Chains A and B, each alone.
Chain A
Amino acid sequence: MRRLLKFISWIERHPWLIFGATGLITALFLIGIAVKGLAVESDIINFLPKDNPAVVAYRQARDTYGSSDLFIVALKHPETIFNTATLAKFKELEASLEALPGVDSVSGPASADLIYGTETAIVVEEAMAVVPQSPEAIALYRERVLKDRNLRGLIVAEEGRAGAIIIRLLPGADIPAMVTSIGELAESYRGPEQVFKAGVEVLRIEAGNSSISDIQKLIPFVFVILVLILYLSFHSVRGVLLPLSVVVLSTLWTFGTMAFTNQPITPFLVVMPILLIAIGAADGIHILNKYYEDVASGERDRRRVLASTMAEMATPVILTSVTTAAGFLGLLTSLMWPQRSLGVLSAVGILYAMLLSLTLVPALLSVLPLPRPRLRQRAFEDAWLSRLLGGVANKVGRRPVLVSVLAVATVFLLALQIPRLAIESQPTKFLGDGSEVVKATHVIDEEFGGSLQLAVDVRTGKRDGLKDPAVLQDMAELEAFLLSLPHVGTVQSLAKVVMQLNETLHASDPAFYAIPDDPRMLSQLLLLYSGDLENLALGDFSRGEVVASVADLDTSDTLELVEEVNTYLQENFDSAEAELVGTVNIIAALVPALTSSQVTSLAVAMAVALLIMRLLLRSFMVSLISLIPLAFAIVGEFGIMSLTQTPLDFITVMLASIAVGVGIDYSIHFLTRYYHEVKGGQSASAAYEKTARTVGKGIVYNALAITLSFAVLLLSSFRGNVNFGWLVMLTMIISSISALVVIPSVLLLKPRFMNKPVRLPGAPLEPSAVAVSPTHPKLN
């Protein structure tokens, strides 16, 4: 501590060196950003934990079968697509899409293959060679397409309200450019039909674009809010500019660190600048709060004011920054790497803010003249907020038992709600309802049987193993079972292909929609197949997938579905190995992983916070009491999430770590000043009141700054971030109130252990004039 204060004293004597060093580091980071740039990564599947068995199975299947770049454009008519105008649109749009460079194939209500057999031929023709003009021709077209198993429910909705165009892109196509050009082309056909676009690439690009636009949109808002709060707090330009300079530079340095370490921007990282701006300002707020308090005491020696301010604030600034960073580092136990990245970068950013608060702020204060004291000490403490907080402290101080009981009862009631907390592990739920992809997902769910994929990977282990009638029969029965389940829309498999080919070969006689017994027949039927089997079978027919489309489910239904399918496979599929893979499986597998991740990150963050407070305060029980705001905030947050049916998902799972990291600050600031007052001879209640009037203001301003800063997340494109925003606001409110009301009410209960002397964090080197309260007995 002495060394730190010596260093600060050195800074006061050499401020221009600090300015130079700061400028140099800033320039370095700016160059890094300009030269290396910041990449964007928004493939949600790539965010998933690589060692999770469901994710491993999914990736292996994808590597085995390959993934094709698929894009879906759907047109939905308010009544029916079976009218000349809409069908003509499909015809024209599909032709235009086919003509786009980069498009490999297009299959839609006009261009899809209609396959049927006659006595002498197998005919493959375009579903709509000419646009039907008459009602009879439209009815005939409708009957043909809805009778076709490959078109009904996949290309043309069963209810006839929508049609889907499946577009495959050439390998090496410029995906973002294709997404844009296809999107623009499709949009030109809007009205009265609605146009929807879906596909993995659409999702990825939308998530990426939304990440960038969110950052660009939200950061200015946060700055405006911060400026307003700082001005309202300090009513001075330096009161605004000093904390602002800390947050601007620390945020810039953090983005520079991202550039140098090749960390991309992800949808999770949208909250980071807001975190840094809101939390990074806290140090500056507390330092300036103390600075103005010292000025109000009447001291006019700039160096003594600065020395007194930094002597008292250096340790709490370091402690709060370290504990906040430690809280963020709790995210290192998170499931997804972008969350871990957020944790590390936020921790780094907070430490940058700490460094700047301890160097740049005193350097700037040392060159600026002392402000005229607007308020004397007594007036400082008598300002309206101080009076309010003092009044609250007075009332709480008289009824500590009641307040403690009320607080515990409230938390208890909220805790009872926690078992009903929903868990949402579907990554696309992170997007908002305004998202184009989400809208398209709803249409695909309603009209085409589902947007999620449930796949069973069937492995025979030998060439032509899938041509075994027993295996195909098992696949056919699996298909029938899946179709019997609620939420399952359509199913594709090699068995279905074979049955269709057999039917077609026999002049489209439905009696032949069956698996032949003879492997020769099976093999030869497949020679008729003109398309690419893709993931339905490998080239050597040793392995293939049964793929079902599934409508959007909540997590409990997903878990049930997965359980049912797994049970079926164990009990019924014995001709080959069959394993559940696909996105539905991943969603189900991530539920327990999400829960355990939450518990782990929370436990780690709390343990670190407790350890730090234990080292700080040397009293285990007082350390526990310091965690009250965190515990109340976390229980309150989960309880309210449960009451409002806000699920625990990949974003809200990070809340607990952030709550710990930030909430501990209030405890540190409160307890530091409280024990300082007690050591100065104040009674417990007087110390409480003094603390409330002084540091309490800083806590309130801090909480206000963070709360209002996170309010901007309510404007985010991502639903996950919107939920995150209001939950952080709630957490800050609960933490700050707990720090100002609940901690002191417990302390005022005066348990025996409270009477033991408690080590204070960093007592000042010399008693400062401003450390003596105007109400101190020696002054009266």
Chain B
Amino acid sequence: MRKALLTIFGALLFLSGILLATAQSLSADEILREAAQIGPFSQDGGRLNVLTFTITDDDGTTVERSFAAISKQEAAQPDKLLIYFLEPELDRGTMFLAIDPEDPTEKSKLWLYLSAFGQVKELVSDQDRNAGFGGSDLQNDQMSGGFDLSKDYSGQLVAEEQLSLRWLGQEGARTVLKIALTQRPGTDVDFPTASVWIDEETFLIVKIAYNNTLDQVEQIIDMDDVIAFEGEVEPNVVTVRSVLKGGQTVITLGERSKLDLADDVFSPENLSGFEPEQYGLGI
């Protein structure tokens, strides 16, 4: 009996070893690179997303902003993102343009068009990258660069876990890989360490927890609701929480569509001539 039990136990260990090896056949850094290809701003081609930010400040006040995010990604080309401010009305027409070069050693270029002034200004600043986008808890860098964590962090696979999520309309548990992130030398990030949870099957990032220098969790990003869009999974609702300061931003990705976009849409010189009606933004 004892021998039989030992055999069964050994077999189970072996099998789980195989399974684990399958899930972890990629290194942590490779998983991160895979994950960077998944998500609404990570897919090749052009697309439009209407985003609503519900921002609850640490002083308890709440504001709502909505934007149209127009993006274009192509192999061997810089990633481009244009944000058109829809609401509140005072800010309507303002635009934020980010061009993220292929070369990871180069910094993103950012421009801001203020419609009330009719002026386009390049934002030349490292500080601005880490500032909150539109007053939200999401940093400009995160907005423009997406969640390509492999650029700034090296990873180490920690565990396989089960995470409760709303996945394709159903509440349930998903198997996720937890990766511990450590800042790469020479990079400039606000959070020296972090943890990321990546869906094992689709490589979609479902949760990130950023830690400060005291190793306290300072910011948590949750993908609360995952839907399918044109054969790919992507988040529908993202919550960004400032754990220590007490604010949060809930980002709802509403209307979305794939578009054919010319490169000159993403040219700072053309920002003042941008026509939102062309993209069905209903102004």
Interface, chain A (partner B; CB < 8 A): 64-66, 100-104, 113, 117, 120-125, 170-173, 463-464, 467, 505, 518-525, 527-528, 530-531, 538-540, 542
Residues of chain A lying within 8 A (CB to CB) of residue B62: 539-540
Whether B124 lies near A538 (C-beta < 8 A) is no
Q: A101-B213, A171-B244, A527-B134 are in contact. Are A521 and B116 (CB under 8 A)?
A: yes
Q: In the bound complex, what is the Cα–Cα distance between A542 and B61 (angstroms)?
A: 9
B212 partner, pick from A170, A520, A522, beta carbons under 8 A: A170
Whether B117 and A524, one on each chain, are in contact in the complex, defined by CB atoms closer than 8 angstroms, is yes
Cα separation A519 to B57 with both chains bound (whole Å):
22
Number of A-B contacts (CB under 8 A): 111
User: B175 in the interface, Cβ–Cβ < 8 Å?
Assistant: no
Q: Name which of A104, A117, A170, A171 has the most chain B CB atoms within 10 A of its CB.
A: A171
B105 adjacent to chain A (CB < 8 Å):
no
Q: Is the CB of B58 within 8 A of A66?
A: yes
What are 7 A-B contacts defined by CB distance under 8 Å? A113-B127, A124-B124, A170-B216, A172-B214, A463-B63, A464-B90, A524-B94
- Residues of A near B121 (CB, < 8 A) are 117, 120-122, 505, 528
Q: How far is the CB of B229 from chain A (nearest CB, A)?
A: 29
Q: What CA separation (Å) do A463 and B63 show in the bound complex?
A: 9
Q: Is the interface of B mostly helix, strand, loop or mixed?
A: mixed
Is the pair B216, A172 in contact by a Cβ cutoff of 8 Å? Answer: yes
B140 and chain A: residue at smallest CB distance: A530
For B61, the chain A residues whose CB sits under 8 A away are 463, 538-540, 542
Minimum CB distance partner of B96 in chain A: A527
A539 touching B117 by the CB < 8 A rule?
no
Is B123 part of the binding interface, using a Cβ–Cβ cutoff of 8 Å?
A: yes
Q: Which residue of B lies closest to A64 (CB)?
A: B59
Q: Are the C-beta atoms of A523 and B91 separated by less than 8 Å?
A: yes
Contact with A along B207-225 (1 / 0, CB 8 A): 0000011101010000000
- Decide if B245 is an interface residue (CB 8 Å cutoff): yes
Tell me the minimal C-beta distance from B70 to chain A in angstroms.
Answer: 18
Query: Which residues of B are in contact with A by a Cβ distance under 8 Å?
Result: 55-59, 61-63, 88, 90-91, 94, 112, 114-117, 119-128, 131, 134-135, 212-214, 216, 218, 244-245, 247
Residues of chain B with a CB closer than 8 A to A113's CB: 125, 127
Report how far A538 CA is from B61 CA in the complex, Å: 7
Known pairs A65-B59, A539-B55; A122 contacts B114 (CB<8 A): no
Contact partner of A171 among B63, B131, B245, CB < 8 A?
B245
Residue numbers in B under 8 Å from A125 (CB-CB): 124-125
Q: Which residues of A contact B218 (CB under 8 A)?
A: 170
| Contact A530 B131, beta carbon cutoff 8 Å | yes
A540 touches B91 (CB 8 A): no
The CA of A340 and the CA of B57, in the complex, are separated in Å by: 39
Q: Which residues of A contact B120 (CB under 8 A)?
A: 120
Contact A521 B88 (CB under 8 A): no
* Contact A539 B57, beta carbon cutoff 8 Å: yes
Taking A64-B59, A122-B121, A122-B123 as contacts, is the C-beta distance between A527 and B114 under 8 angstroms? yes
- Is the beta-carbon distance between A530 and B57 smaller than 8 angstroms? no
Closest to A525 in B: B114
Q: Is the CB of A66 within 8 A of B216?
A: no
Pair A524/B116 contact, Cβ less than 8 Å: yes
List the 3 closest pairs (A to B, CB-CB), nearest first. A539-B57, A124-B125, A523-B90
Compute how far the CA of A66 lies from the CA of B90 in the bound complex, rounded to whole angstroms: 27
Of all chain A residues, the one with the shortest Cβ separation from B135 is: A539
Query: Who on chain B is nearest to A124 by CB?
Result: B125
Q: In the assembled complex, which residues on chain A have CB atoms less than 8 Å from the CB atom of B128?
A: 124, 530
Given A103-B213, A170-B214, A505-B117, answer yes or no on A520-B127 (Cβ-Cβ < 8 Å).
no
- Report A-chain residues with C-beta under 8 Å of the C-beta of B131: 530-531
| Residues on B with beta carbons closer than 8 Å to the beta carbon of A102 | 213-214
Q: Which residues of the other chain, A, contact B123 by a CB distance below 8 angstroms?
A: 121-122, 124
Please give me the residue from chain A that is nearest to B244 by CB atom. Answer: A171
Report which residue of B59, B88, B91, B245 has the largest number of chain A beta carbons within 10 angstroms of its beta carbon: B59
Residues in A with CB closer than 8 Å to B213 are 100-103, 170
Complexed CA–CA distance, A538 and B116 (Å):
23
Tell me the minimal C-beta distance from B158 to chain A in angstroms.
Answer: 22
The CA of A463 and the CA of B135, in the complex, are separated in Å by 15
Determine how close the nearest CB of chain A comes to the CB of B88; give it in whole angstroms: 7
Q: Are A527 and B94 in contact (CB under 8 A)?
A: yes
- Provide the residues of chain B in CB contact with A531, threshold 8 Å: 131
Nearest-neighbor residue (CB-CB) of B212 within chain A: A170
B90 contacts which chain A residues (CB < 8 A)?
A: 464, 467, 519-520, 522-524
Output the nearest chain B residue to A119 by Cβ-Cβ distance. Answer: B121
Give Cα A171 to B115, complex, Å: 37
Q: How far is the CA of A56 from the CA of B128 in the complex (A)?
A: 37
Q: Which residues of A contact B88 (CB under 8 A)?
A: 464, 523
In angstroms, how far is the closest chain B Cβ from the Cβ of A95?
13
Inter-subunit contact A524/B244 (CB<8 Å):
no
Q: How far is the CB of B257 from chain A (nearest CB, A)?
A: 26
B57: A residues at CB distance < 8 A: 538-540
Interchain CA distance A103-B91 in the complex, whole Å: 34
In the assembled complex, how far is the CB of residue A520 from the closest CB belonging to chain B, in whole angstroms?
4
Closest chain-B Cβ to A694's Cβ sits at a distance in Å of: 69
Output the least CB separation between A137 and chain B (Å): 21
Residues of A near B245 (CB, < 8 A) are 171
Question: Are B59 and A539 in contact, with the CB atoms below 8 A?
Answer: yes
- Bound-state CA distance A464–B88 (Å) is 10
Tell me, rounded to whole Å, the shortest Cβ–Cβ distance linking B142 to chain A.
14
A524–B90 Cα distance when bound, in Å, is 7
Q: Are B244 and A170 in contact (CB under 8 A)?
A: yes
What is the distance, in angstroms, from A105's C-beta to the closest C-beta of chain B?
10
Contact call B244/A66, Cβ cutoff below 8 A: no
CB–CB A66/B91 < 8 A: no
Bound-state CA distance A121–B135 (Å) is 21
Q: How many angstroms from the CA of A272 to the CA of B71 in the assembled complex? A: 71
State the Cβ distance, A455 to closest chain B Cβ, in Å: 15
Residues in A with CB closer than 8 Å to B58 are 66, 539
Distance of A401 Cα from B54 Cα, bound (Å): 86
Q: Which of A463, A521, A530 has the most CB of B within 10 A?
A: A530
Q: Would A122 and B216 be within 8 Å (CB), given that A65-B59, A531-B131 are in contact? A: no
Cα of A134 to Cα of B49 in the assembled complex, Å: 53
Contacts of A122 in B (CB 8 A): 112, 121-125
CA distance in complex: A522, B124 (Å): 21
Assembly CA distance A467 to B61 (angstroms): 16
- List the B side residues contacting A519 at CB < 8 Å: 90
Instruction: Evaluate contact between B114 and A505: CB separation under 8 angstroms.
Output: yes
Give CA–CA (A559, B116) in the complex, Å: 44
List A contacts of B56 (CB < 8 A): 539
Asked whether B119 lies within 8 Å of A505 as measured between CB atoms, the reply is yes
Q: Known pairs A122-B122, A170-B216, A522-B90. 8 more at Cβ < 8 A?
A: A66-B58, A120-B121, A122-B124, A171-B245, A172-B214, A464-B88, A521-B114, A523-B88
- A71 CA / B56 CA spacing, docked (Å): 27
**A120 CA / B120 CA spacing, docked (Å):** 7
Q: Is the CB of A123 within 8 A of B91?
A: no
Minimum Cβ distance to chain B for residue A509 (Å): 13
Give chain B residues whose Cβ lies under 8 Å from the Cβ of A172. 214, 216, 244
In the complex the two chains form, what is the Cα distance from A104 to B127 in whole Å? 14
- Measured CA separation A2–B244 after assembly (Å): 67
Complex Cα spacing A530 to B131, Å: 5
Residues of chain B with a CB closer than 8 A to A64's CB: 59
Question: In the complex, what distance in Å separates the CA atom of A521 from the CA atom of B114?
Answer: 8
Which A residue sits closest to B123, measured CB to CB?
A122
- Residues in A with CB closer than 8 Å to B212 are 104, 170
Chain A nearest CB: distance from B119 CB in Å?
A: 7
Tell me the minimal C-beta distance from B188 to chain A in angstroms.
Answer: 12
